[in-house]
Amino acid sequence: MKQLSGKHILLGVTGSIAAYKSAELVRLLRDAGTEVRVVMTPGAGSFITPLTLQALSGHPVYSELLDAGAEAAMGHIELARWADAVVVAPASADFIARLAQGRANDLLAAICLASEVPLAVAPAMNRAMWENAATVENIDTLRRRHIRIMGPAEGAQACGEVGPGRLLEPEQLLDALSALFRTGSLAGCRVLVTAGPTREAIDPVRYISNRSSGKMGFAVATAVAEAGADVTLVSGPVALQTPQRVTRIDVEDAAAMYAVVLEHAAACDIFISVAAVADYRPVTTAHRKLKKSAAGLNLELQANPDILAAVAVLPDAPFTVGFAAETDGLESNARHKLVTKGIDMIAANNVADGQGFDRDDNALQVLWMDGEAQLARTGKARLARQLVEIIARLYAGKRRGTTVVSLNAKDTA
């Protein structure tokens, strides 16, 4: 269940006798490292108490669409944006029908309608209700909308009948949820990612650096691993845990990052340069601490090697993706970098007024020679998954010799 670690899962519970399984699912999700928020329909409270799910999730349980406090801040939208995935388990026949019709007449339905992340439903109902033509049509509608249908299982039912319609067991639901994040879009690919800042030493205690936390690069490495790739992450100094299924190499300065990247780049299929590499370093580095002087200190700087450009000109270069952090002229500066460095794609973000750096959210304008995509502000983990799906499509298109003109967040959710 490594794909679930660190994820935000919104669990919807509807009116069904199988709601008791939701409590165990919450426990399993927490054990897998997820943060869980629970939303109950009005009917769900007849089968399981909100207090039970609150105690297991560690968060208040939400149920009222028109809660004055929450809706003053558009609570249903905030919950939809918070989640990395939404799963409704159990999903009653009535809720499935309302979801197919696009209704938003309770909090859970409104969240599903407002969500742009993977959405899954786990049906639970009598076998005759499951086999009814109306339910069959509703399920087909949800599948056409790329909503995942988890189950149902077959067996003895609460009504005494036997057949399809049982809610999957919590362990099966956990496995199905984990699969939501295994896209396989980069299966078999070798991907090299850089992340974090570099530190260019002035003396043994001082250095030149920047505000990069490494969060975006680590999120990209995680998303690439979820997409099935073999990932090597080259990181500057950061206080972050190594993503699962990722090989990490730590470096200190730009020269070291350059050497490691060039050592590995020729053997990779895709290179994603997220690191905020220092453009300059001191010409000389003092071996002893420089003492403070009233006269001030003058530093002579020289340019660091351009890692991104060096990879782009390699013989049989990998599919190369750059990042551009800009305070103005976002698109024009990013497109100039795309062209002058000869790379395949660039992801640009506005870092004016503290945006982007050392935060948990970001927004990206993604550019390539024949098109672009706008990725709206969201958590960096979700943003990274959207970006990686674009990279996967463009990489596959380049290998086939086809062109992708435009994509948006919904195409990559």
pLDDT digits (tens, 9 = 90+) for 115-168: 888 899 999 999 999 999 999 999 999 999 999 999 999 988 877 888 899 999
What pLDDT is attached to residue 77?
A: 79
Which range, of 220-234, 240-254, 256-270, 355-369, averages the lowest pLDDT? 355-369
Mean pLDDT confidence for 328-341:
94
Percentage of the chain surpassing pLDDT 70? 93
d(CA 277, CA 325): 11
Mean pLDDT confidence for 230-259:
95
Amino acid at 212: S
Domain 190-412 -> CATH class:
alpha beta
What pLDDT is attached to residue 354?
A: 65
- Concatenating the DSSP letter of every residue in 168-185 gives PPHHHHHHHHHHTT---T
d(CA 70, CA 159): 38
Quick check: do 2-179 and 190-412 share a fold? Answer: yes
What pLDDT is attached to residue 76?
A: 67
Cis omega before residue 123 (within 30°)? no
- Residues annotated catalytic, as ranges: 159
What pLDDT is attached to residue 406?
A: 57
User: Taking the domain 2-179, which CATH number applies?
Assistant: 3.40.50.1950
d(CA 151, CA 172): 9
Average pLDDT for the chain: 90
What's the residue count for the chain?
A: 413
| Domains in the chain: boundaries | 2-179, 190-412
In which order are the strands placed within the sheet that holds 85-91? 35-40, 8-13, 85-91, 119-123, 148-149
For the beta carbon of residue 94, count every other beta carbon within 10 angstroms: 15
Query: Which tens digit of pLDDT belongs to each residue from 81-127?
Result: 888 899 999 999 999 999 999 999 899 999 999 888 889 999 999 99
> 72 or 200: whose pLDDT is higher?
200
Q: Which two tokens stand for residue 321?
A: 């993706």
For the beta carbon of residue 166, count every other beta carbon within 10 angstroms: 23
What pLDDT is attached to residue 180?
A: 87
Which range, of 231-235, 255-259, 312-316, 395-399, averages the lowest pLDDT? 395-399
What pLDDT is attached to residue 30?
A: 94
User: Is the pLDDT assigned to residue 352 strictly greater than 90?
Assistant: no
Q: Which two tokens stand for residue 282?
A: 């001191």
Q: Which two tokens stand for residue 153?
A: 């299982």
What pLDDT is attached to residue 88?
A: 97
> 171 or 5: whose pLDDT is higher?
171
